[in-house]
Structure 1
């Protein structure tokens, strides 16, 4: 029961971050937002400029959950690193490939209807292959959908964590010594990322660029379970403040704040291990029960929603632009409809694809289907022309 409550509180945070990302893309890409901006200019501008920073929350939570599952005591709890990496790749890629097939097909449908920079161009075979294997930014190919870069980076960060924890198993030290050395290496990586790598935009396709936020999440997990949690709290604050002193970045300030919040929420509040988050979530289930349950549900399916929402938003943009191009009220309602339909489509993807245990064969089949769907679009385009 305690675990369920803890996960429920984290799912609520994920749900809020997921909402922010969807609305950021709705505001940033248009064209509905271009028309609706006349009604709520400040809101659309804020969503376009700042809501994207919710990605930092996912990065911190990713590091927190990676530490919880891979090395809760800073010691690898797995025996086979390649197996861990393989499972993660397959789990990410199967719903990802399905969502990209939808993106390729809907983009081809929308392209003749809406002339707008947000509409992706016809895919190429190298682009399809690169996207299928999560290396599009590394090899300089354009992403097939918004937010695809995050999936690739999330996989890189997970691999980095697995390799670090696995490497520490080779040292013949005591468990306590290896745990402390592991934590020191994570801290060193966070410092290197925040103080150097994250300040170089040319590195934003590599995991080290984002390791600062991811590593802060790891530190938040270990610190929340330490008897010296206050020392960890100060350490996270010191790393974040040092990075901001060298160069202020709003995204890093948010990552630090998120890690510190996790430290406070997830530390035990009672001797039985009940956390502050569990107590808070229990209180919210009273007056705010409908909202918290909705956020919890959205957090549970947020990966599928994240994958599919851009395609849905693109389709709604095309329909509204074709039929109601200059009506601000109806364009604003179109944005709301796109949000609701995105969540519905994400739930379908979650129920039909993500929640099922995938295999390598399933992943390969969907990756080949993605390349095949893109190839079909190319052939159809040549035939029409």
Structure 2
């Protein structure tokens, strides 16, 4: 299978597997489908419930790896203003994210007529929606309108923090060292305190491991650099063992060695994994609305057997992948996202032009 020039099959494969694990974690957590399936397969369902969420570490490391490539490919400081880059990242995340929030609100309204379950979010308020749009819902104490959306807010915080650190370190040419210092602080302190889990500093250790893996793979003494990274992470694990950090370290080492050895861009040559990796963000966004509808339909049909629940989850998984494929084509893909943002910019410009024509506004100094 031929790969697009800018895609990395190993990263696609890791994203595909991680996305499926996150889905299975949510599928084992919400609604009557999960409850009925747990009765027949308690061990498997409990494993996905307990450990599936750790797949988020894979996304954190990959995000740090790719952020280092985009912002500081050779370990250099960021010499341009980070604000346009942060805004671009915000749009990249939020355009499909808000579309998915709309789907989740609609699916919750339908499911609420079919069943009474705590998995269904309460009816959204404008303040709640606005907090989600600004990626501040967790910080402001609003309930989530969809499962897992906390991660999008954290991803944005991490990218912004990384860009600011690389820009702030340009005076003494120590930008990567500054990033690694903050990552070490996260591993040794912030990540050990759950009260920080709404902030980037809690997750920056894993993100920084990904960035360090990219920079290490750029250097001649790669094994020495990766050895230093591993030593720091292992020391943090000795202080406080966390399985999620073990996973993050393993993924970072795999990416670093993979890039240096050349198989990052060549392996695995699997069409299904490449496809799922490409649509993994869309899959992450749309699976919860699909799961709500599947649970509501299951309750509406008054089914209760484990076999019917397992079949329902399998169909929900298949439907999520189909929905994610179309969501990617119509909303998330770079071409679709560009069309959407251009359309909104045009509408905003037209609205501003109309407001400027309102008599009296210019007289008071507004909208000049």
Work out the CA distance in 2 between the residues paired with 1:78 and 1:151: 26
1:38 match: secondary structure: helix
- 1:24 and 2:25 matched: yes
1:318 corresponds to 2:300? no
- Mapped to 2, the partners of 1:3 and 1:359 lie a distance apart of 24
Q: Report 1 or 2 for greater relative contact order, CA contacts < 8 Å, sequence distance ≥ 6.
A: 1
Distance 2:137 2:179 in 1: 27
Distance in structure 2 (CA, Å) of the matches to 1:314 and 1:2: 35
Cα 1:331/1:365, change in 2 over 3 Å: farther
Compared with structure 1, are the counterparts of its residues 65 and 111 closer, same or farther at alpha carbon in structure 2 (3 Å cutoff)?
Answer: same
Distance in 2 separating the partners of 1:218 and 1:205: 21
Q: Aligned partners of 2:347, 2:204: CA distance in 1, in Å?
A: 32
Which of 329, 343, 346 is the equivalent residue of 2:324? 346
Do the aligned residues in 2 keep the contact of 1:324 with 1:330 (CA within 8 Å)?
Answer: no
1:217-266: CA deviations, max 9, x gaps?
00000111211111122122112212211112111111111111112211
Alignment of structure 1 residues 223-238 onto 2, 5 Å: 223-238=216-231
Q: Is the 1:130–1:141 Cα contact (8 Å) retained in structure 2?
A: yes
Summarize the Cα distance change of 1:14–1:336 in structure 2 as closer, same or farther, 3 Å threshold.
same
Structure 2 CA distance for aligned equivalents of residues 184 and 78 of structure 1 = 16
**TM-score, length basis structure 1:** 0.84
For 2:283, the equivalent position in structure 1 comes to: 305
Kindly indicate whether residue 269 of structure 2 is the aligned counterpart of residue 276 of structure 1: no
Could you tell me whether the CA contact under 8 Å between 1:156 and 1:206 is conserved in 2? yes
Structure 2 vs 1, CA of residues 116 and 365 (structure 1 numbering), >3 Å: closer, same or farther? farther
Structure 1 residues 3 and 320: CA distance shift in structure 2, 3 A: closer
Query: What residue in structure 2 maps to residue 337 of structure 1?
Result: 315
The answer to whether the Cα contact below 8 Å between 2:9 and 2:264 also exists between their aligned partners in 1 is no
Q: Which residue of 2 aligns with 1:99?
A: 100
Q: Which residue of 1 aligns with 2:207?
A: 214
Residue of structure 1 equivalent to 2:360: none
1:120 and 1:20 mapped to 2: Cα distance?
A: 22
Contact (CA 8 Å) 1:94, 1:362: kept in 2 or not?
A: no
**SS of the residue aligned with 2:113?**
coil
Matches within 5 A, 1:1-385: 4=5, 7-76=8-77, 79-169=80-170, 171=171, 178=173, 181-267=174-260, 269=261, 275-278=262-265, 281=267, 284-285=268-269, 292-355=270-333, 356=336, 357=338, 358-359=340-341, 362=344
How far 1:148 sits from its partner (Å)?
A: 0.7
Work out whether residues 166 and 178 of structure 2, in 8 Å CA contact, stay in contact via their aligned partners in 1. no
- 1:38–1:365: structure 2 CA closer, same or farther, 3 Å change rule? farther
- CA distance in 2: counterparts of 1:214 and 1:222, whole angstroms: 13
Deviation string for 1:178-219 (max 9, x for gaps)? Answer: 1xx122212211111011111111111111111000000000
Determine the C-alpha separation between the residues in 2 that align with 1:162 and 1:277: 25
Higher mean C-alpha deviation, range 35-44 or range 21-30: 35-44
Alignment gaps of 5+ in structure 2: 349-368
Question: Structure 1 unaligned runs (5+)?
Answer: 270-274, 286-291, 367-385
For each residue in 1:51-87, what CA deviation from the matched residue of structure 2 results, as whole angstroms up to 9, or x when unmatched? 1100000000000000011111122466332111111
In 2: Cα distance, 1:364 partner to 1:154 partner: 28
Do 1:9 and 1:278's aligned partners in 2 also have CA atoms closer than 8 Å?
A: yes
Q: Name segments (4+ residues, structure 1) moved above 6 Å.
A: 363-366
